Amino acid sequence: MKTRTTAFLITAALAVYFVLLGGRAVVLLGTGDPVGIGLGVGVLVLPLIGVWIAWTNLRFGFVTERMARQLADEGALPDTSGLPRRPSGRVDREAADAWFEERRAEVEAAPEDWRRWFALAQAYDLAGDRGRARETMRKAIDLFQVPKNHV
Asked if pLDDT for residue 28 goes beyond 60, the answer is yes
What is the separation, in whole angstroms, between the first and last Cα of the chain? Answer: 39
* Cα–Cα distance for residue pair 135/7, rounded to 1 Å: 20
Q: What percent of the chain has pLDDT over 70?
A: 96
78: phi then psi, degrees, rounded to nearest 5:
-55, 130
**What is the average per-residue pLDDT within 3-20?**
88
C-alpha–C-alpha distance, residues 114 and 140, integer Å: 5
Which long-range CB contacts under 8 A does 79-86 form with residues at least 24 apart?
80/122, 80/126, 83/126
Would you say residue 67 has pLDDT above 50? yes
pLDDT digits (tens, 9 = 90+) for 49-64: 988 998 999 899 999 9
Is pLDDT above 90 for 138?
yes
55: region left, alpha or beta (phi > 0 left; psi from -120 to 50 alpha): alpha
Confidence category of residue 149, pLDDT binned at 50, 70, 90: low
Q: Rounded to 5 degrees, what angle do the CA atoms 64, 65, 66 make?
A: 90
Query: pLDDT per residue over 80-114, tens digit each?
Result: 999 999 999 899 999 999 999 999 999 999 999 99
Check residues 47 and 141 and name the one with the higher pLDDT: 141
Residue from 18, 16, 4, 14 nearest 58 by CA: 4
Exposed e or buried b per residue across 29-61, where buried means at least 16 C-beta atoms within 10 angstroms of its C-beta: beeeeeeeeebbeebbeebeeeeeebeeeeeee
pLDDT value at position 42? 92
